Structure 1
């Protein structure tokens, strides 16, 4: 009986079955030629260097892949895999990790075409939105420009608005006008009587600063300011008062037909003169007008203001000197522009500036301006 039969059977628990070695990935080198010597992998190298350090080829080639017999380099062995082939020995732990392949990108470049198509579509959408914004902006600007032209650009209105329909406009060419009526217009008797000589020197003086900018639109009316000597009135003070009245938005500029500019030389359309009662009679009489030393007149290119009217006002404008001064200038300049006399149109309303208010308001309210604050012309029935 064999000794193996005498031994008790061993338990299979805990025994590990040995797996066969995995197949070698590299083919075994061909056997060496007869009569040649090949150093084994475990044979001692007398020079202390391994096979790879000595540079021998496992197929019997010399160092560096050259034939030891001097026949030149060997051609590459087709059975030996190239170690530089990607993926042969797995990912390089020290190199760049392998990139993930785009599933939408094929060999024909479809992914790049899709990307370019998406980028082009996005640019087209942005360009379309920009064009829409530009077109809308141009439309808005055109609408604003059209509205501004209608509001400020059309001639004959306040600031460019169309002239009010109730503005009759000039009825005649400029001619002589005087506020003549039976009796003497009532005046205010001040506590201290101002200096009003019957006749001045007859010589007129212009203020030192005799120019201004243009006020209003339409035909520009150039005018001068002159004050008679010997009446103790400052030409510059009177000039500033007249300039302020003609530049007021309630004045004749509101109609859009005229603008006013004060000048001190050259051509002019009319001259505003402040004179004594005697000089007024002389100047107005040259146009066939009777003033009797009491009223103002407008004849030719002259707008003559009576010093008595300027200082004593009228009882209907008590404690309203600026309002009455506006009435005097606007009334006489209105004659120079071609407007005739008017009367009160309805009780309780503002009196037309072309009404002879110094002789009574006839139920209207005192008013020294041709237009109201809303740019409406204040009119009434015409009178001779």
Structure 2
């Protein structure tokens, strides 16, 4: 009789599945250090704005830079395709649901203009901002020299899934170890969700790594492709790769949890799972500074053959400072994210982000529903 080969499945966890355990010693929140280093660059807060056209433009980049974070401008987005992106953004926001995908496909078919790349970067630098730019692996060698000439500070090479070993018969994939030899600025690469992929990318010499496949509010990769790993498990697995790589080489490669963070609680859990920083999309799309006008869409939505995103509506009911520093005007956890992080660290008795990586975590599917009957009955409970 032929022996049957069996495959073992493991359970993967998302933010709603876990809770952080308070410490035996507590700490005043103002004694915590939440700063983040990226190469030689130092950021007072460990928060990045996602390279999405509904989230980041010149104005938001400058505003976030001035309060200690880092925004990423997408060099393959609307900002570099149109001299007047405001008109295009308004059309996207006003489009009916049944027409928006076709509109996005048309909008993103406009060629990227080299002169606009330089204009956007210089506008950020002239106003004192730190400028990070995002490109896909296929366009890195074309667009990076233009961006470098304009004075960009950080390069983000990003696609749905990026690995150190891409196989293709039609073209030679981007070799990150070669890339690092001729690019002097910090290089962030993403996205990945597994130990092995993370470890191999770290071995190429990259500066930092983005973690997450499909968790974003406007992303449909998991529905369209069936691919993805919940963010708690993905972050913990990639953090293990970072720590093992550090023990073997002495070089520390920060990981950045990208996507799926809806509240201060999610943000705190990401750091406890091993994140050194987080990248935010939809929660920043809700700010008055965001260019999306209450609309938020995934950057794979305009794909001609296989769109992997959608446009969602978000309330623009906050400002960047309120969202990050408060004082909060809502009770749903979407404001004062920095205050939430510092308070969680204080409750857990933690002084730094690296110490936060050692906080005890429990599997707790009842964390959002236990004792909340009155909130549910009165429509005040967090979404389950």
What range describes the TM-score normalised by the shorter chain of this pair?
under 0.3
Tell me which protein shows more strand as a share of its residues: 2
Tell me which protein shows more helix as a share of its residues: 2
Q: Of the two, which has the highest radius of gyration?
A: 1
Using structure 2 for the length normalisation, give the TM-score: 0.21
Q: Of the two structures, which has the highest relative contact order with CA contacts closer than 8 Å and spacing of 6 or more?
A: 2
